[in-house]
Amino acid sequence: MSMPIVTAMVLAAGLGTRMRPYTDNMPKPLVPVLKKPLIDYTLDRFAEAGVKRAIVNTHYLAEQLQKHLEKRTAPQILVSDERGELLETGGALIKARDQLGDEPFFCANTDAIMIDTTMDACEVLTGFWQDHEMDALLLLCPKQQTSGYTGKGDFLCTADGVLSWPDAGAKNETAYIFTGVQIIHPRLFADEPLRPVSTKRFWDKAMAEGRLYGVLYDGRWMHVGDPAGLAAAEKYLSST
């Protein structure tokens, strides 16, 4: 990676229905994990990685989230207001296109906490990123290094990092979990019209062109998407 990544997109507009009752009167990014709001785990990581500005999309109980974000000094926060319509993960990127600029950027959601071991998660991504051959690079994790996750994995990954979807009927294949953190180049959605759409559409496009890659993270990934995941994360953090 020849240039540092200084911009990030933080996806924070979801309704948080699986986190009820915590989200009955609070947006999920503000749910505290050991008294620290989820979104601050994400923003602090980006600040430590040298990110100068973060675009945060808002929808549910947006005023609460914006008030919290006003207290932060690093990174600089720009709000992408989606109170008029939920745009899903891909639509959020399209709406924020002008704020994101023309260079590759980090993108993350707020329902996970990561504990690094040998290398920071952002360093893992930037160290593997090759702008001339990638449009998206996803941070992946083996299931045995996780908590709060009950699925079978999201992607197959070759030794070179090329990603593909698992075959539902195949056996003995190792599917890695997507941590929610990635690098995306805005050229991947430059021509997309504004509408609700999943980032999966962009991944499918990059995959078809051989430009969707993944890199493995060797730290611990804790999914905090529901009360059980929250409890597991707090238990682990309290013991370290």
Express each pLDDT in 37-75 by its tens digit: 999 999 999 999 999 999 999 999 999 999 999 999 999
> Does pTM surpass 0.85?
yes
DSSP, collapsed to helix, strand or coil, labels residue 137 as strand
Local confidence band at 1 (pLDDT 50, 70, 90 cut-offs) = very low
For residue 108, the tally of other CB atoms under 10 A from its CB is 26
Tens-digit pLDDT profile for residues 8-34: 999 999 999 999 999 999 999 999 999
Q: Is the pLDDT of residue 101 over 60?
A: yes
Which domains are present in the chain?
A: 7-239 (3.90.550.10)
Task: Compute φ and ψ for 138, nearest 5 degrees.
Answer: -105, 140
The encoded tokens of residue 224 equal 């905090």
The encoded tokens of residue 176 equal 């890695």
